[in-house]
Chains A and B, each alone.
Chain A
Amino acid sequence: MKVKELTEILEGSVVYGMDFLDREVYTACGSDMMSDVLAFVKEQAVMLTGLVNPQVVRTAEMMDMKCIVFVRGKKPDLGMIELAEEREIVLIQTELEMFTACGKLYQAGLRGGSGK
């Protein structure tokens, strides 16, 4: 699905990356533990997280992710937004909690990467 569609499904708003909403994403992961995210790489394009700090953006950068979704109404700060701009990573915000956000995206066809 496109990032635009993902944002609609999550009733979310775009914090950064209006120019990249046509990006196609097929896989996602949800975690507040960045080492967990880093442990299972398989082309996950989207990370859902309730964690808010620059290392979330750095983790997405190392993993070549295209989009970060902040759940439970968490808001990235200016430093994080600037970092995301430099790395061209879309930031989405939703009021939904993690379980619900993941469930909705799964139902709409997104899958977890088949981590090794």
Chain B
Amino acid sequence: MSELNFKYDVLKDDFTCAGEASGKIKRTLKDLGFDSNLIRNIAIAVYEGEINMVIHADGGVITCDIAPECITVVLDDKGPGIPDVELAMQAGYSTAPDNVRQLGFGAGMGLPNIKKYTDDMKIETQVGVGTKITLKFMVK
């Protein structure tokens, strides 16, 4: 299998479409015949990341690289950035407004959830510039 590459746009404040990109990635991986547990881990991690782009940033772009031994997903946004990554990674820490909690998110579990389901997670962020999160999933 040669390397495949996909790109999805995520829109700011679009709570109806949030999850579209994650769903597409999930279905693509399914069509390609990857293991269902691996696919679910990827879908959950990317979905939390996508939700974060919608609620905390101004939308952004998700790219997915599929190689035989590793699937890499990059969540890239031009949002406000994360001032204190260590704090943001703590379970329960959230700056989400109340309307987000009504969606079932905003409990400060997104980033910890992403880490849990990912083999490698790298956050590059700059206040006022944006956030780029790179996720790697090993294909066993």
Contact = CB atoms under 8 A, between A and B. Distances in A.
A binds B: yes
Interface of A: 32-39, 41, 49, 51, 53-56, 58-59, 61-64, 79, 87
Contact of A38 (B15, B48, B102): B48
Given A36-B107, A41-B40, 17 more contacts: A34-B104, A35-B106, A36-B109, A37-B104, A38-B47, A38-B109, A51-B102, A53-B104, A54-B15, A54-B19, A55-B18, A55-B51, A55-B104, A58-B19, A58-B47, A59-B104, A61-B43
B62 interface: no
B23 interface: yes
B2 interface: no
A34 B105 contact: yes
Given A35-B113, A54-B19, A55-B15, A61 B107 contact: no
A41 B109 CA distance: 14
Nearest to A37: B104
A62 B43 contact: yes
Contacts of B41: 41
Contacts of A56: 104
Contacts of B105: 33-35, 55
Contacts of B71: none
Residues of B in contact with A, size category: 20 to 34
A115 B26 CA distance: 22
Nearest to B39: A64
Contacts of B48: 35, 38
Contacts of B59: none
Contacts of B43: 61-62
A13 B6 CA distance: 40
10 closest A-B pairs by CB? A34-B104, A58-B19, A35-B109, A62-B43, A62-B47, A35-B107, A51-B104, A55-B103, A38-B44, A62-B44
26 contacts: A32-B104, A33-B105, A33-B107, A34-B105, A35-B113, A38-B48, A38-B113, A39-B109, A39-B113, A51-B103, A53-B15, A53-B104, A54-B19, A55-B104, A56-B104, A58-B22, A58-B23, A61-B26, A62-B19, A62-B23, A62-B26, A62-B40, A62-B43, A63-B40, A64-B36, A79-B16
